[in-house]
């Protein structure tokens, strides 16, 4: 089967960027995305788009990048060391949405295509980081991901969910970042790699928007806001310590303002903070930040 056509991959990702931005703007009475197109040293371009200060979205970053390089950065060759030093082309959209309401979860998605010499592969996925857990949100999120994977084999969702759980894990705190989702890399099976990648792109907004719509008007106070900002600290720790996309962007000479634009605008670290026993905050840890097959239904 013929290798993926880069200009068609690019068109898909540009359309995805526009769809996410227009959908999120539809929730806001005034806030809009700011965007700029930037040439990249060595070839290619990036189009970061950021919305800040909305009533629903405190910050969202939806960044499109198409780069060319003479040498793959180390973050991209961790799983393919034989390609170290290869000439490469990378096309991607990376996004993070930080809602204002603590009851609305943060979400992250990344979809990318790499070509290095004669090799090519797809990667990406999406995950959810709630601050307060709701069974129906977890079930909807994971069932939407599972439905996108099912046409490509019964084990695909199982593998991608496990990969997501293992990747989005804060080793230094021995806890997951959120409730996971799907994550994959090095996807290059000629028969279905591109179709599966596109199916997951199409699944992202149907997975997230119903949850955001349910939660963004929930009344909250300073206690809930404080907990949200503390938990956002975990998000920052993961992005700066472990995230391969962040490392790749920095190693490839990307624009720092764009790479770090995905971080939450407000965050708190409180020394040795422990949630109150029996509280909704503790319940996030005991019920939601634990392994579970949410696609099969809420655990007893």
Q: What is the C-alpha separation between 163 and 265, in angstroms, rounded?
A: 29
Asked whether 176 and 153 are in contact (CB, 8 A), the reply is: no
Of 7, 68, 98, 108, the active-site residue reads 108
Check if 7 is active-site: no
Q: What is the C-alpha separation between 217 and 203, in angstroms, rounded?
A: 24
Q: What is the C-alpha separation between 131 and 272, in angstroms, rounded?
A: 18
Helices (H), the chain: 6-25, 74-77, 135-149, 156-167, 193-215, 222-241, 244-251, 256-259, 280-283
Q: What is the C-alpha separation between 206 and 167, in angstroms, rounded?
A: 23
Residue with tokens 């696609």: 295
As annotated, the active-site residues are 108
């Amino acid at each position: 089967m013929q290798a993926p056509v880069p200009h068609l991959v690019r068109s898909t990702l540009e359309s995805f960027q526009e769809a996410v931005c227009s959908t999120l703007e539809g929730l806001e009475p005034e806030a809009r995305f700011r965007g700029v197109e930037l040439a990249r040293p060595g070839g290619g371009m990036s189009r970061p788009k950021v919305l800040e200060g909305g009533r629903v979205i405190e910050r969202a970053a939806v960044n499109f990048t198409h780069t060319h390089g003479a040498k793959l950065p180390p973050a991209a060759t961790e799983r393919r060391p034989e390609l170290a030093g290869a000439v490469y082309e990378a096309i991607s959209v990376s996004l993070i949405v930080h809602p204002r309401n603590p009851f609305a979860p943060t979400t992250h998605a990344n979809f990318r295509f790499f070509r290095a010499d004669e090799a090519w592969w797809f990667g990406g996925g999406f995950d959810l980081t709630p601050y307060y857990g709701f069974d129906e949100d977890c079930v909807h999120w994971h069932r939407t991901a599972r439905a996108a994977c099912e046409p490509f084999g019964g084990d695909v969702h199982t593998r991608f969910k496990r990969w997501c759980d293992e990747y989005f894990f804060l080793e230094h705190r021995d806890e997951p970042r959120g409730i996971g989702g799907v994550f994959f890399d090095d996807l290059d099976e000629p028969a279905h790699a591109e179709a599966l990648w596109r199916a997951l792109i199409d699944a992202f907004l149907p997975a997230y928007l119903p949850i955001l719509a349910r939660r963004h008007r929930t009344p909250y106070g300073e206690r809930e806001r404080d907990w949200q900002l503390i938990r956002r600290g975990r998000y920052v720790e993961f992005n700066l310590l472990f995230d391969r996309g962040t490392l790749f962007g920095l190693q490839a000479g990307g624009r720092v303002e764009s790479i770090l634009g995905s971080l939450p605008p407000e965050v708190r670290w409180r020394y040795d903070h422990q949630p109150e026993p029996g509280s909704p905050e503790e319940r996030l840890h005991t019920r939601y930040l634990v392994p579970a097959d949410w696609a099969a239904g809420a655990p007893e």
